[in-house]
Amino acid sequence: GVVDALGPGATGVEVAEPVAVYGAWGCGVCHACAQGAENYCPRASSLGIQPPGLGAPGAMAEYLVVDDARHLVPLGDLDPVAAVSLTDAGLTPYHAIVSSLGALPAGSTAVVIGVGGLGHVGIQILRAITGATVIALDLNEDKLKLAREVGAHRALPSDESAVESIRSLTVGVGAQAVFDFVGNGPTLEIARQVVALNGVIQIVGIGGAVLPTGFFSTPMGATVRAPYWGTRSELMEVLDLARAGAIHVETERFTLDEAPEAYRRLHEGMVRGRAVVVP
Ligand code: ZN
């Protein structure tokens, strides 16, 4: 949106300036926050910091109160409606992928499980900043079509055939990085079986299942990580990627009155990309 008004003492942004809101608010002064990693602020919970829309009401409305100008990133000429989802659907996969860059040189393979709001942006980010061959998995044929449209080299059904297909496509080696944007039992099992020796599994989806890790479960050297959202500087980088035309979020637009319908479609897995409610 645009800055509508500044509270007493607020500086650093101008009224009418188009901005994106960085959503993972921390204390702003600890070591993690000093690095921009407010998503990993160890004090946020004890200080009762609850960003609007995530634990506190206030995001789905005409106006949004932001505690500090540091949580605002200039949008420049990006369209707010097209760009708003980048603050989550772009930032979350970007954070996971950036922390796996060492595993994804040219010639490597990355698997994306789940081509939803985050996964379809994850595919684009992988294509934009890594040399990996990208294999996307989903249960829904429309989502597989979307995966191909946004740059996946291969898009395959996320069923019992997936493991053998990926093993075959990688000549038995497996994938150097697996990004599970679902996080349920069957997807984690696919991740476990397709990750390469010394590879990395990033459990991004909050399906809540558990992946047994260790000798006789995951391959030797494999890392399993459950990242959360992203850092302030990474959001700037995500917006830069969008500005360069390298990534975009597929969006369906709804009015505020239509928000319940947006939730219904989301619940039924019918939303292509992200639903954006525009007051
Ligand atoms: Zn902090």
Distance 11 CA to ligand 1 centre (A): 21
Distance 55 CA to ligand 1 centre (A): 18
pLDDT recorded at residue 57: 78
Distance 37 CA to ligand 1 centre (A): 8
pLDDT recorded at residue 60: 82
Distance 51 CA to ligand 1 centre (A): 14
CA distances from 8 to 64, 68, 160, 276 (A): 16, 12, 59, 31
pLDDT recorded at residue 153: 98
Distance CA 223, CA 201 (A): 6
Residue 255: CB partners within 8 Å, gap ≥ 6? 277, 278, 279
Per-residue tens of pLDDT for the chain, all 279 residues: 999 999 999 999 999 999 999 999 999 999 999 999 999 999 999 999 988 877 777 778 889 899 999 999 999 999 999 999 999 999 999 999 999 999 999 999 999 999 999 999 999 999 999 999 999 999 999 999 999 999 999 999 999 899 999 999 999 999 999 999 999 999 999 999 999 999 999 999 999 999 999 999 999 999 999 999 999 999 999 999 999 999 999 999 999 999 999 999 999 988 888 999 998
Distance 250 CA to ligand 1 centre (A): 33
pLDDT recorded at residue 82: 94
Distance 34 CA to ligand 1 centre (A): 7
pLDDT recorded at residue 279: 87
Distance 45 CA to ligand 1 centre (A): 10
Distance 25 CA to ligand 1 centre (A): 8
CA nearest neighbour of 124 among 249, 266, 253, 247: 247
Distance 67 CA to ligand 1 centre (A): 14
pLDDT recorded at residue 50: 87
Distance 15 CA to ligand 1 centre (A): 27
Distance 32 CA to ligand 1 centre (A): 6
Distance CA 21, CA 74 (A): 9
Residue 148: CB partners within 8 Å, gap ≥ 6? 136, 155
Distance 101 CA to ligand 1 centre (A): 25
Distance 41 CA to ligand 1 centre (A): 4
Distance 36 CA to ligand 1 centre (A): 9
Q: What is the dihedral of CA 68, 275, 248, 20, to 10 degrees?
A: -10
Q: Which residue has the tokens 């760009």?
A: 83
pLDDT recorded at residue 99: 97
